Amino acid sequence: MTARMLAIYGKGGIGKSFTTSNLTARLAFDGHRVLQLGCDPKHDSCNTIFNGHSLPTLGEVWRGYKERGAEDQIEVGDVIFRNELAPGVPIFGCEIGGPDVGRGCGGQGISHGFKVLERLGMNRWQLDYVVMDFLGDVVCGGFATPLARSLAEEVIIVVGHDRQSLYAANNIAQAARYFQSMGGSTQLLGLIVNRDDGSDTADRYAAATGLPILTRIPLNHQVRVLADACKLALGVDEFEAIFANLAGRITRREIPPCTDYRPLEYDEFLAVFDAQEPAGRPLAATNADLFSENTFVPEPFLTELTLMPVRQVHVTDPVQLRVQEMMEAIGIHVTGLDRDQEEGITVTSGATEIRLGEASDLTNKVAFLSALARTGQSFSLIDIRYVDAPSYY
């Protein structure tokens, strides 16, 4: 049985975790086996479905094993947790988390987390749904993982009537269109308007893009108090009806993929708010504006200065060190480097994952990477474990 993969995207603070938790809970009450997967470094997605418990994150668990040199010993029970919403109503949760604060890229942590879950056999777990709760106002590649790698079958975007959440939604729609053009299969279902106060801004954006509004979740003080206390809103009749209806339509596949939407250009987006960008450029600042003295002579640039990124990865294994040096020689900055018995060598460069596999034939593999890099294109995944049959997107 292959789980149906849904991704819930939304700007930070718009209520995507609230929406995800009540949706997954409703699906569980309907008899489905559901895993809620928190994909935000704040790692607070699953608190509500776990009675306020903050789950240990996959990232921190993996780092603990890594420090002991035992990362290949991680088991399902280290990162996947179970709760009963009611007797006989189980639900599962996992928080991917991210790097320690200030010590790495959150998107890279998401990419790495999915790789660990795949090693743990996620595609073979006996689940009906995996519902991913994804940060939507960060555009780096790691947070686009469900789109870039077609991990999500469908995407729903949570918005409000505010410009910031709709701007994030437009970015997500643009990313979805881009990855579809690259051969991706993930489909957008539409928008959920959260904290609907009766205004029409989200409606105007939906009409301009062609994205349907799937449901509206009203602004409600009682439900806000429940959410702040890490409690589900399903005990409130109106909200039980909203999420029961949404879960049922998803289960019965009554929400068709939206195929004719069009993300907005910036001037079109501003027009939704009856705004427009002024013509021309802003007034340039002068030296007199910024310096106490009216005369300033800039120092000459060091024309022969070559900037090299500081190494973020320090390895002692001779094979890994050789890989790192070869990557740097062709201009690929290494931000992550792993080696294990099953997958071989995996290099991360920003939001790009490069699967090299075994250390054999490294020269040809790196030559292929060099040629790919010269195209100037951006890639999410490059798989050259078998150099005669590479794949990349």
Residues carrying an active site annotation: 11, 16, 42, 137
Residue in the structure block whose two tokens are 């879960």? 247
Q: Count other C-beta atoms under 10 Å from residue 122's C-beta.
A: 20
Picking from 135, 129, 139, 140, the residue whose alpha carbon sits closest to that of residue 157 is 135
**Secondary structure (DSSP) of 131-171:** EEEEE-S--SGGGGHHHHTT--SEEEEEE-SSHHHHHHHHH
∠ CA 53-56-60, rounded to 5°: 155
Q: Count other C-beta atoms under 10 Å from residue 279's C-beta.
A: 5
Instruction: List Cβ neighbours of 135 (8 Å cut-off, separation of 6 or more).
Output: 9, 12, 39, 40, 41, 106, 143
- Give backbone dihedrals phi and psi of 153, rounded to 5 degrees, phi first: -75, -40
β-pair type (352-357, 344-349):
antiparallel
39 beta partners: 134
Instruction: List Cβ neighbours of 50 (8 Å cut-off, separation of 6 or more).
Output: 81, 83, 93
* Burial class of 343 by CB neighbour count within 10 A (0 to 12, 13 to 18, 19+): middle
- Give backbone dihedrals phi and psi of 381, rounded to 5 degrees, phi first: -140, 130
* Burial class of 346 by CB neighbour count within 10 A (0 to 12, 13 to 18, 19+): buried
If phi over 0 gives left and psi between -120 and 50 gives alpha, with beta otherwise, what is residue 357?
A: left
What spatial distance separates the first Cα and last Cα of the chain, rounded to whole Å?
27
Q: Count other C-beta atoms under 10 Å from residue 377's C-beta.
A: 10
β-pair type (4-10, 129-135):
parallel
Per DSSP, 207 falls in state H
Residue in the structure block whose two tokens are 């789980």? 3
